[in-house]
Amino acid sequence: MKIISILNHKGGVGKTTFTGSIAQALALTGSRVLAVDNDSQHNLSSLLNVGVKQPNILDVYRADIDNAPRLLLSSVVKTGLTNLHIVTSCGGLLDAAAGDVYHLKNVIDVCGLDRYYDFILIDNAPGLDRLQMSAVNACHEIFVPTELRQFAVDGLVEMERTLLERCPRGGRITKIIPNNYRKIRRHDTFIAALNKMFAGRVTDTKILTDAVFDEVVTEGKILFLHRLYSKGAACYVKLVHELFMCDEEELWDTLMNKRGEHIRDRARDRYRKTKEKPGGNDDDK
């Protein structure tokens, strides 16, 4: 089992959309995935159409090590996808809840989640405080989605230095993902700078700017089932291939088959509803 924290100390860089999209893609292609919402705004819980549940991640932080594993397992909620579960968050999740920045790691270790999941993806709020440190100490790797702006690029060096100082035993930044990319000279310049500062860690795949991401969030839909032929979905297919060494053709075939199954299931549901309506079955007339 691999635990990955999605982190950036700056807000508005697309962490939650990235986490949700990667989690859905992995689940649709057969991996067992647990998403953990480590953000008081609980956007990941909303994106995955679950909302706030009880117990949740706040209860896990508040509990002692004897009770926290039971609460973590009780916090796991199914999503609309078979292989994707989530531990939700809530508005009361404050930095002070993470009194021990190794608590989350210890709880995950005690639970033996490797028996149930191939990946744990932890979505984090902006910042580098105790909640984020808890996620870093619990993970094996850190993925950093970033916008291609001067302050965002410059801040990544400082962020890595801070992580090394505060979390010497925690996960390390292994991948930096350019987000909201447009084919303009300024963005290419920033990517060149990132490659120089973080050689070998910047993904070749860039997530293009696409309104489809806002559409699926607003409509409560799944990118790969409802908008598979969008440029945004194509970016994520390439990204999953690059990040997790999946065969790209097999990945496309699997997602296309899942989309087909989804369309057929919806058609059957509509047909059943029509038959169940009074006067809907002409054969009985």
Q: pLDDT (tens digit, 9 = 90+) per residue, 134-166?
A: 999 999 999 999 999 888 888 899 999 999 999
Structure tokens at 176: 């930096």
* CA atoms within 13 Å, Cβ hemisphere of 278: 0
184 pLDDT more than 90: yes
Largest Cα–Cα distance in the chain? 77
pLDDT at 284: 44
∠30-32-35 over CA atoms, to 5°?
125
Q: What are phi and psi of 144, to 5 degrees?
A: -120, 100
Q: Are 56 and 87 in contact (CB under 8 A)?
A: yes
pLDDT at 285: 41
Q: How many helices (DSSP H) and strands (DSSP E) are in the chain? A: 12, 7
pLDDT at 205: 97
For residues 218 and 61, give the distance between their C-alpha atoms in angstroms, rounded to a whole number: 30
For residues 104 and 47, give the distance between their C-alpha atoms in angstroms, rounded to a whole number: 23
Query: Taking the model in full, what pTM does it have?
Result: 0.93
pLDDT (tens digit per residue) in 97-132: 999 999 999 999 999 999 999 999 999 999 999 999
281 pLDDT more than 60: no
**SS3 label, residue 236:** helix
Mean pLDDT of the chain: 94
Give the chain's domains with CATH numbers.
2-249 (3.40.50.300)
pLDDT at 151: 85
For residues 167 and 139, give the distance between their C-alpha atoms in angstroms, rounded to a whole number: 11
Query: CA–CA distance from 125 to each of 7, 25, 165 (Å)?
Result: 8, 22, 20
pLDDT at 20: 96
Selection from 146, 148, 127, 149 nearest residue 136 by Cα: 127
